[in-house]
Amino acid sequence: MSERNPIVFIHGNGDSADGWQIQMERFKANGYSENELFAITMTPPQNESHQHYADQVKPFIEDVIQKTGRSKVNIVAHSLGCTVSRHYIKHMGGDKIVDRTVLICGGNHGIPAADLTMNQPEVFKQSPEVNTMGASFLNDLNTGNPDGLETFGSTEYMTISGPDDEFYLFYESSPQLKGADNRTIRGYGHFGLRSCEESFQLMMAFFAGNADRVSTGKDAMSDAPTDPSGEWHIAGGPNNGMEICLNTDSTYVATESGQISKGTYTTEPQKFIHRISLNQTEGPGNTGKREGIYRLNVNNTFLRLALSDLNVSEPPQLIAFAPTYERRLETNPMINELVGPWQLKNPGFLIAAGWTNATLTILNNAQFVFEGDNTMSPTGKVRIAGKVTISLKPSPHHISFEISETDGNVPFFVLGEVLPGLFHLQDKTLYIQWGSATFGIPRPSCMDAPIMLMQE
């Protein structure tokens, strides 16, 4: 029997053991056997509390110990699985069993999507636990540990994260922990980091005890920029249509609720949340000042901006619910190559949203229909429809779906929602990956787990 520890894989919210297939095959190709690799599927697949899932992880690991005859295990966890694992290690005796753990894209200091679902704790039970506004569950995990570390016990920790993970917009360093070997990998989003070769090489080295010899990801995460100048707009969500142009000469033009205001602005960069003051010289409410706070993402493609009402002396205190602006790009007319029905061949990132089979139909008039089978729907079916817009200037190209019709079967797809995404067309194959304006998941910066569709 091998002297190394068996590996337990713990998936994220809405995922399953199937999400680990790529990495498990890599471990097998590098000498691991079936009897050393164990992936749990937690139930229900999404939105339950950490304790609910940890209560499933504990007996699963105990069963692995019994089957293998080993006294220790290693853990590889992704997203929700990271904080579930940490709870198990700190509060359920896991520190005596878990030798090493690799935490990929974990919400260790909060995940922005949880902020936006705080008003539905009965549905999204993790929101009070992993929001970015001082969640007590996370404070408990991150404090009270020896030597002021955020890691607990004798377990050794590695974190893997990256600036292109769309789930941590403005909070790109949230997955990193004081006391862990923190690695940063560019070019992959939330699911790509879970499945990429670079992450696998780090896992292998870490579990073998020689991660210090691997240079991958050792460069620290870049600091977010502080200069907010540029043309910014909001597409989707409750602030759909808001725009602001912050010119390099310190003048600005803003549009809100169809009303235009103009003036000058000044900024005061600080440690994390920066100050901004708008001196309005034209616009609704006449003249005066608006105090605000802002933050840019590490890639300098999104701006979160919260402003006070006119002539209120104090800026807003919270940025978590502030409008999120995207840099404006010119839109293009619909192209013939996209028109027609497209059959889903690989669900990509959509497997985490319950889709198993679907057809996307794009019409000449830039309308779309997306319908098919969805495990999260009470009826097993979902249909959404609306407007689609594209921008061909960047590569991959931009695509956005604005929902004006929905059967209401899944809470992720609501009227007025905009799904901002990227697309790549190759022969008769269409690759798309999108986020969610309503749930604070922005347009991805890369396509690491796209859906694949083919023309019928």
Q: 3-state class of 52 per DSSP?
A: helix
The torsion defined by the Cα of 240, 241, 242 and 243, in degrees rounded to 10, comes to 140
Q: Which residues contact 6 (CB under 8 A, 6 or more apart)?
A: 35, 36, 37, 38, 64, 68, 70, 73, 74
Homologous superfamily in CATH for domain 7-213: Alpha/Beta hydrolase fold, catalytic domain (3.40.50.1820)
Q: State the Cα–Cα distance between residues 430 and 101, nearest whole angstrom.
A: 37
Q: Is residue 1 over pLDDT 50?
A: no
Structural fold of domain 230-327: Lipocalin (2.40.128)
Number of residues that this document lists for the chain: 456
User: Any idea which residue has 């996370």 for tokens?
Assistant: 138
Are 7-213 and 336-455 in the same CATH fold?
Answer: no
Q: State the Cα–Cα distance between residues 356 and 14, nearest whole angstrom.
A: 13
pLDDT digits (tens, 9 = 90+) for 184-198: 999 999 989 999 999
Q: What pLDDT is attached to residue 440?
A: 65
Q: Is residue 263 over pLDDT 60?
A: yes
pLDDT digits (tens, 9 = 90+) for 347-390: 988 887 788 899 999 999 999 999 999 988 889 999 999 999 99
Put the strands of the sheet holding 7-10 in their side by side order: 37-40, 7-10, 73-78, 98-104, 156-161, 181-184
262: its two tokens:
């103009």
Strand 251-256 vs strand 259-268: parallel, antiparallel, or unpaired?
Answer: antiparallel
Architecture of domain 336-455: Beta Barrel (2.40)
Label residue 394 exposed, middle or buried (CB < 10 Å: 0-12, 13-18, 19+).
exposed
Q: 3-state class of 3 per DSSP?
A: coil
441: its two tokens:
């998941």
Query: Within 10 Å of residue 255's Cβ, how many Cβ atoms?
Result: 15
pLDDT digits (tens, 9 = 90+) for 241-260: 899 999 999 999 999 988 99
Q: State the Cα–Cα distance between residues 146 and 297, nearest whole angstrom.
A: 32
Q: State the Cα–Cα distance between residues 136 and 117, nearest whole angstrom.
A: 16
pLDDT digits (tens, 9 = 90+) for 104-127: 999 999 998 898 888 888 888 999
- Half-sphere CA count of 36, side-chain side, radius 13 A: 18
Domain locations in the chain? 7-213, 230-327, 336-455
* Sequential DSSP letters for 295-364: EE-TTS-EEEEEEPPTT-SSPPS--TTS-EEEE----BPPPGGG-EEEEEEE-GGGGGGTEEEEEEEE-T
Percent of the chain with pLDDT over 90: 76
Q: State the Cα–Cα distance between residues 258 and 264, nearest whole angstrom.
A: 20
Q: State the Cα–Cα distance between residues 119 and 89, nearest whole angstrom.
A: 29
Expressed in angstroms, the distance from the first to the final Cα of the chain is 51
pLDDT band at 439 (very low <50, low <70, confident <90, very high): low
Q: State the Cα–Cα distance between residues 14 and 12, nearest whole angstrom.
A: 6
Q: Is residue 217 over pLDDT 90?
A: yes
